[in-house]
Structure 1
Amino acid sequence: MIALPDLATLIAFLGAGVLLNLTPGADVMFAIASGARGGAKAGVAAAAGVASGSFVHIALTALGVAAAIRAMPGAFEVIRWAGAGYLLYLAVQSWRALPQEARAGRDGLAAAFRRGFVTNLLNPKVALFILAFLPQFADPARGPLWSQLLALGLVFVLTGFCITAAYGAAGGALAGRIARHGRALNRIAALVFGGLAVRLASG
């Protein structure tokens, strides 16, 4: 049996999700940094990776795995530090990249997608946020929660992708105008990735 949220709940959830996604956060900053380094298409590809990583968290939440991870602080810490380490690695790579590497990065859409996916997947805060946010709009009386959570999650991911992709494309447009400052763009991207790593590691 499959159950879906009622229309009023879906509209309320959509409004809340759009407002949350419009607020610049780690995902938005990551997409902007990716766009600044590799162009508008790279920013959009990074946003697609972020959205895909989010949907994995949503699927895990629907299956109850996220709740189990929350109950095991050790597993949470391992994932958190792995995510921080990966972001730090991206920061070092960006800092050391040569300007011509930034221009070459415009063709690396698969790499931008992969970075967005892995970064989001290794951020347990995303799982905890989804675990706290989505169930508020699900009603056990309507039927199985897993199908309601997946439906809500799909809406959240799609709206999040559109908004984050717009930010990423804007970062790419800005990069195109100041392409001659390629080293500076790399350094800015490195600082953003490094800041996100510190933010994740600090808990």
Structure 2
Amino acid sequence: MPDGQQLVLFVLAGWLLNLTPGPDVLYIVTTALRSGARAGVLAGLAIAAGCLVHVVAAAVGLGALLAASAPAFMVLKFAGAAYLVWLGVRILLAKAPPAAPVLEPRQAALPARAGTVFREGFLTNVLNPKVALFFLAFMPQFIPAHAPDKVTAFLLLGLLFTLNSIPVNSGWALAAAWLARRDAVRNAMRWLDRAAALMFIGFGLALAVSDHSPRPSTGG
């Protein structure tokens, strides 16, 4: 594990990265706007669960395989892109949320759709190959070269990063749910839905055409 100063830097860097808008944040905010704070927090927990999958995969070598294998990376990239586009289209085709206050009635209804919220948030993160490459690029910078067990250090740092993301994700959810109680936001909810849907589709198309595929090694 890194020393105290490096650990503080790791935590701060993780918070800043989790504050950066992307597909994960967009899913949390959209869910909280439509279904209330509890659903938004659950979406954040699903994102965190997806991060743990990437951490474990990178630690056991699957992440390195994705980074080295162009076909494997392309399969995951296009699967993730298709999923984000599908989410966007689904939001566009969905019925507008009711104009009644969002939080109280939706909280009572959450258990019936909690599985859907969690599954969609989990897949939003797991099917994004950029998350896998992020962990491979970011985490090793904080593992000392003399660490006796680098895999364990990687797993512990990944767990710490994921736990630190939960308050940030919950903050996004609570802020979005608070905004949803404002009359102006409720009246504009359908337009917000459309904007979110177009952003999901945009993220998916950007992922599909992005040039982040691994380069094959040419050897020595």
Query: 1:141: how far off?
Result: 1.6
Query: 1:112: how far off?
Result: 1.5
Residue 157 (structure 1) aligned with residue 162 (structure 2): yes
Matching residue of 2:128: 123
Distance 2:200 2:38 in 1: 19
Kept in 2: contact 1:33–1:188 (CA 8 A): no
What's the TM-score, normalizing by structure 2?
0.82
Aligned pair count reads 200
Matching residue of 2:62: 65
Higher helix share: 1
2:178 to 170, 173, 195: 173
Distance 2:197 2:97 in 1: 16
Per-residue CA shift, 1:106-156, capped at 9, x if unaligned? Answer: 622321211110011000000001000001111242211111111111111
Distance 2:201 2:98 in 1: 19
Kept in 1: contact 2:23–2:200 (CA 8 A): no
Residue 134 (structure 1) aligned with residue 131 (structure 2): no
Kept in 1: contact 2:49–2:122 (CA 8 A): yes
Matching residue of 1:41: 38
1:77 to 74, 80, 89: 74
Identical aligned pairs, as a percentage?
Answer: 41
Residue 198 (structure 1) aligned with residue 205 (structure 2): yes
Q: Partner amino acid for 1:77?
A: M
Distance change >3 Å, CA 22–CA 185, structure 1 → 2: closer
Kept in 2: contact 1:85–1:197 (CA 8 A): yes
Distance 2:95 2:192 in 1: 10
Matching residue of 1:18: 15
Kept in 1: contact 2:2–2:144 (CA 8 A): yes
170-179 or 51-60, which moves further after superposition? 170-179
Distance 1:65 1:6 in 2: 28
Say which one has the larger Rg: 2
Secondary structure, aligned partner of 1:188:
helix
52-61 or 41-50, which moves further after superposition? 41-50
Kept in 1: contact 2:23–2:124 (CA 8 A): no
What's the TM-score, normalizing by structure 1?
0.88
Compute the RMSD of aligned alpha carbons. 2.1
Residue 187 (structure 1) aligned with residue 194 (structure 2): yes
Query: 1:105: how far off?
Result: 6.8
Secondary structure, aligned partner of 1:141:
coil
Secondary structure, aligned partner of 2:181:
helix
Distance 1:199 1:105 in 2: 33
Q: Partner amino acid for 1:167?
A: W
Per-residue CA shift, 1:38-89, capped at 9, x if unaligned? Answer: 2222221111111110110011111121001111111111111111111111
Matching residue of 1:31: 28
Structure 1, unpaired ranges of 5+: none
